[in-house]
Amino acid sequence: MQIAVGGCLAQKDRGEIVRRAPWVDVVFGTHNLGSLPVLLERARHNESAQVEILESLEVFPSTLPTRRESVYAGWVSISVGCNNTCTFCIVPSLRGVERDRRPGDVLAEVRALVAEGALEVTLLGQNVNTYGVEFGDRLAFGKLLRACGEVEGLERVRFTSPHPSSFTDDVVAAMAETPNVMPSLHMPLQSGSDRVLRAMRRSYRQARFLRIVEGVRERMPDAAITTDIIVGFPGETEADFAATLDVVREARFASAFTFQYSKRPGTPAAEPARPGAEGGRAGALRAAGRPAGRGVVVRAPCAGGPRPRGARRRGRGPQGRRDRPAQRAGPRQPAGALRRARRRRGAPPG
């Protein structure tokens, strides 16, 4: 067995990893995933750890050979890197500025996945709705969603993650008017306090975030909107946290990933000596966001692969994570088929 460590933190802590874990064979960064097979081979041959970090992207990751876990659902990278500078995030300093793939390349990969049996595709980027900034088309993401709507055999299109400050009406319209784009939106809030958002260097404010949520629900009443929230950001006061709770109540998120702020060395927010204060806020957040819940019937694809007798299969419904009906496959219900299933009681989508 060989061990490789890669990604943002591997890039930042390259020397430390080899020093503290001498059994690691390869350390690689965010720009050279494609070199991994060669580095593993070299580590085997030389019997020493190989560390290779490149400063810019060599090959777009999606163009590398892939072995997919499921043939029914696939991820397609549309961009890498980010032009924002959120003070808690290490991505801008390690992944660099946004690089966009050409729409033709993205669509060719989507079509290839569908030809291999995919029903569902998730478009992936650090900041999907600024897609096009590199080739100067501000409407490129909405156009890409509509183009995915034309791909025959593609039943579901999702994307992650959009940034609230770049969320434009043309994207909401493309979502609402393209039948295979799912009514689900994962849009990170991070904080409901304008003061904290400013300190995080996130350029939208509470009112704008709520306006987007309202606009999405106007066009797609059943949309399941999910989010990310950080509690205990340095300097966050009770009043700031109360503002976050207000947004959680008003936005009625279907679900949220909530994080206690933790210092990430090398980021601007880690510099001040002010500690983050959590003080039970994560629990209060969960209580505020607890869904009222109602059961709905959704259609979700069964996962593929052999299944032990009596095991249950799971899939995602149109609204995403919260719609995960358990399904039993059988002779008349092959893997990959879209089946009607009752969703467990969960967050209200509207």
Residues that bind ligand SF4 (CB under 6 A): 82, 84, 86, 89, 91-92, 126-127, 163
CB nearer ligand SF4, residue 130 or residue 206? 130
Instruction: Provide the token pair at 343.
Output: 């969703």
CB nearer ligand SF4, residue 132 or residue 317? 132
Q: How far is the CB of 21 from ligand SF4 (least distance, A)?
A: 26
Rounded to whole angstroms, the Cα distance separating 131 from 160 reads 12
Q: How far is the CB of 180 from ligand SF4 (least distance, A)?
A: 26
CB nearer ligand SF4, residue 11 or residue 319? 11
CB nearer ligand SF4, residue 103 or residue 162? 162
Q: How far is the CB of 89 from ligand SF4 (least distance, A)?
A: 3
Q: How far is the CB of 299 from ligand SF4 (least distance, A)?
A: 32
Q: What's the distance, Cα to Cα, between the start and end of the chain in Å?
A: 49
Q: How far is the CB of 204 from ligand SF4 (least distance, A)?
A: 11
C-beta of residue 197 within 8 angstroms of C-beta of residue 191: yes
Q: How far is the CB of 77 from ligand SF4 (least distance, A)?
A: 14
CB nearer ligand SF4, residue 6 or residue 164? 164
CB nearer ligand SF4, residue 72 or residue 131? 131
